[in-house]
Amino acid sequence: MIPAAFEYAVPRSLEDAVAVLADCEAGTAAILAGGMSLLPTMKLRLAAPALLVDIGRLRELAGISRASGRLRIGALTTHAELLAAPELAEWRVFAETAGVLGDPQVRNRGTFGGSLAQAHPAADWPAVFLALRGVACLRGSRGERSVRSEDFFTGVLTTAIAEGEILTHVTFPAGDGRSGAAYSKMRQQASGMALAGVAARITLDTAGRIEESTVGVTGIGGAPFRARSIEQRLSGLLPTPSILEESCADVPEADPTNDLHADADYRRQLLRVHATRALTRALERARSAIP
């Protein structure tokens, strides 16, 4: 319940934050955003950073905007803001995901960027980030860089964010009038995290065939991943319920975890079921997006 002692810094700007981090010895500082992952970990003394750099007040990192055909979501945008954002009406998957993430209190503080940076194996946003092919924008003492979602998650609880770097925002392609996306999740009964979570995006061509699909998966293995086997199977097909179901029958790239709540077999089954459900809804939305 009680974290170990630490120093606390409140940078006034992004520059300032980057500078504070650059000054720290590797591995000693932690960025504090909403604190909904970091503080619980520290309270159980599973983490004990010597310095917390609280970026939570940097409003420049918050908010949703649109520029040159892309949506931009600031790292500090909270789950609650994503649940209610009118700017994201074209991607209902955001509200849908935020609605099944944690609880209202957690959503009021937890941030989109924090969730991606934490890269918890059972977190929800990573699946959406993958399915919508987002791009993460990072800022460090050596400047800015972007990382594509498929290169972002590098292992269990690890990402492409380097020591001293801050995730500032994520960009997504805006809706194109023929795409739809959806998220389907099975909650672990105790923690509420994803036992399996699948975000799927489908883009239809003019003939109603699947021009492209992307499927992001969380909860199944040690890190979120793209179910490329499903994407490949669906490419160019005229989708029917049974085609969607068959395309999810087997996902060889999944490497499911075994734990109290779900063994590997069961996780595979949940992946099949939720991939099918997410794709089915994504298809409906893609169809209804067509004017």
Partner 1 sequence: MRRDAPPDLIGARVPRVEDPRLLAGRGAYVDDLQLPGMLQLDILRSPHAHARICELDVSMARALPGVVAVYTGRDLAQFLKPVPSAGGMQGFNAPPHHVLAVDRVRFVGEGVAAVLAQDRYIARDARELINVTYDVLPAVTDPGVALTPQAPVLHDDIGSNRAFELRIGNDTQAALAASERIISGRFINQRVIPGPMETRGAVAHFEPWEGRLTVWLSTQAPHLMKREFARYLDFPEHRLRVVAPDVGGAFGAKNNPYAEELLAAALSLKHGVPLKWIEERSEHMLATSHARAQAVEVHAGVRADGTVQALHYRLTADMGAYYHAITHIGPMMTAALMTGAYRIAHAATDIISVFTNATPTDPYRGFGRAEATYFIERTMDLIARELGLDVLEVRRRNLIRPEEFPCTTPTGHVHESGNFQLCLDRALERFDYEGTRREQARLRAAGRYLGIGIATHAWRAGFPSVPGGKGYVTSGWEKSTVSIDAAGKIRVVIGTSPHGQGVVTTTAQIVAQQFGLLPQDVRVIHGDTDAVAQGNGTMGSRSLVVGGSATLLAAQQVRAKAIRLAAHLLQIDPRQVVLESACFRDAGNSQRGIALTEVAAHAFAGPRDLPDGMEPCLEAAVLFEPANFTTCFGTHVCAVEVDVQTGAAAIRRYIAIDDAGRAINPTLVEGQIHGGLAQGIGQALMEGASYDSAGQPLAASLLDYATPKASDLPHFEVELTETPSTVNPLGARGIGEAGAIGAPPAVVNAVLDALAPLGVRHLDMPLTPQRVWRAIQEARA
Partner 2 sequence: MNISLRVNGRPVEAVVEPRLLLVHFLRERLRLTGTHIGCDTSQCGACTVHLDGRAVKSCTVLAVQADGCDITTIEGLAAEGELHPLQAAFQEQHALQCGFCTPGMIMASLELLGRAIVPDDREIRAALEGNRCRCTGYQNIVAAVRTACERS
Ligand X SMILES: Cc1cc2nc3c(=O)[nH]c(=O)nc-3n(C[C@H](O)[C@H](O)[C@H](O)COP(=O)(O)OP(=O)(O)OC[C@H]3O[C@@H](n4cnc5c(N)ncnc54)[C@H](O)[C@@H]3O)c2cc1C
What's phi and psi for 137, nearest 5 deg? -110, 125
260 interface partner picked from partner 1, ligand X, partner 2, none, CB below 5 to 8 A per type: partner 1
3-state SS, the chain, equals: CCCCCCEEECCCCHHHHHHHHHCCCCCCEEEECCCCCHHHHHHCCCCCCCEEEECCCCHHHCCEEEECCEEEEECCCEHHHHHHCHHHCCCHHHHHHHHCCCCHHHHHHCEHHHHHHHCCCCCCHHHHHHHCCCEEEEEECCEEEEEEHHHHEEECCEECCCCCCEEEEEEEECCCCCEEEEEEEEECCCCCCEEEEEEEEEEECCCCCEEEEEEEEECCCCCCEECHHHHHHHCCCCCCHHHHHHHCCCCCCCCCCCCCCCCHHHHHHHHHHHHHHHHHHHHHHHHHHCC
Single-letter code of the amino acid located at 6: F
| CA–CA gap between residue 131 and residue 149 (Å, rounded) | 9
**Of 31 and 182, which has the nearer Cβ to partner 1?**
182
From the CB of 187, what's the least distance to partner 1, in Å? Answer: 9
From the CB of 290, what's the least distance to ligand X, in Å? Answer: 31
**Of 99 and 140, which has the nearer Cβ to partner 2?**
99
Binding-site string for ligand X from residue 187 to residue 216, where x marks contact by CB under 6 A and - marks none: -----xx-----------------------
**Of 41 and 108, which has the nearer Cβ to partner 1?**
41
184 touching ligand X, by CB under 6 A: no
220 interface partner picked from partner 2, partner 1, ligand X, none, CB below 5 to 8 A per type: none
186 touching partner 1, by CB under 8 A: yes
Question: In the range 209-248, which residues lie near partner 1 by CB under 8 A?
Answer: none
| CA–CA gap between residue 1 and residue 11 (Å, rounded) | 27
| CA–CA gap between residue 33 and residue 118 (Å, rounded) | 11
110 touching ligand X, by CB under 6 A: yes
β-sheet bridge partners, residue 225: 217
156 touching partner 1, by CB under 8 A: no
1 touching partner 1, by CB under 8 A: yes
181 interface partner picked from partner 1, partner 2, ligand X, none, CB below 5 to 8 A per type: none
Stretch that binds partner 1, among 10-18, 83-91, 158-166, 264-272 (CB under 8 A): 264-272
Stretch that binds partner 1, among 24-32, 52-60, 111-119, 262-270 (CB under 8 A): 262-270
114 touching ligand X, by CB under 6 A: yes
246 interface partner picked from partner 1, ligand X, partner 2, none, CB below 5 to 8 A per type: none
45 touching partner 1, by CB under 8 A: yes
| CA–CA gap between residue 220 and residue 187 (Å, rounded) | 12
**Of 30 and 215, which has the nearer Cβ to ligand X?**
30
**Of 166 and 283, which has the nearer Cβ to ligand X?**
166
- Contact residues: ligand X, CB under 6 A: 30-38, 40, 75, 101-102, 106, 110-111, 113-115, 117-118, 120, 123-125, 161, 166-167, 192-193
